[in-house]
Amino acid sequence: MPDVKDIQDICGRLDRGEIDRAQFLEQFTRALAGLIGCTRAGVWVFMDTAEGRALRCLAMYDARFDRMFGATDMLNAAVGPYFDSLLSEGCVIAPEARTHPSTAIFADEYLLPLDIHSLLDVCFSVNGVLFGTFSCEQAGAPMAWTQRQVQQLRQIGSRASLTLLHAATAHGETESAALWEPSSPNRLLTLPAPLDPEPS
């Protein structure tokens, strides 16, 4: 089973140029899913779009298929409870995500189609500024998230945030001005789509 040191080693490989961005994101999210023990694990960053503030998925690994999935951005303006919790508490812990007050809005378009029962999203910052979230999802049956899992994600965030910033900005996924205002972003609801490999 991976541990935080394994994830730190993956970050070091990208920093040293031993792996490229796509390899880093795959290795990172695979290790994240293994460490937390969840079905799906992803990395999201806050950004602005023409339609409003949003979260964009950098990478999502699904252990059921042992592969990476891309995400189509879909803005939904009616997800205030999710962001209120995420931004005020620094995390959303929803073992019963389909009925949890912060995540029930995702049920019809996201949770039910993907058979997801539980969500755990934990924010991370870069140099003290909110930058993104780690998203852990459990399919098939609910998971009772533990404080240990939450603390592990926070520890990963403190150790990996600068590398994640590098991975995000190296490919133009974000505009810097979009990242520094954490107020009222919009959740992206995503359905899986194969992630085309980047040219080497």
pLDDT tens profile 115-133: 999 999 999 999 888 899 9
> pLDDT higher for 199 or 149?
149
157 phi and psi angles, rounded to 5 deg: -60, -40
Pairing between strand 192-194 and 116-126?
unpaired
Task: Indicate the pLDDT class of residue 153, thresholds 50, 70 and 90.
Answer: very high
The one-letter amino acid at 169: T
Q: What digits encode the pLDDT tens for the residues 80-128?
A: 788 788 888 999 999 999 999 999 988 998 899 999 999 999 999 998 8
Task: Indicate the pLDDT class of residue 149, thresholds 50, 70 and 90.
Answer: very high
Q: What digits encode the pLDDT tens for the residues 161-191?
A: 999 999 998 755 444 333 333 332 333 333 3
Instruction: For residues 132 and 55, give the distance between their C-alpha atoms in angstroms, rounded to a whole number.
Output: 8
**Contact yes or no for 70/198 (Cβ under 8 A):** no
Domain segments of the chain as ranges:
4-190
Question: Picking from 34-48, 66-80, 98-112, which range would have the lowest pLDDT averaged per residue?
Answer: 66-80
CATH topology of domain 4-190: Beta-Lactamase (3.30.450)
Note the pTM of the prediction, 2 decimals.
0.81
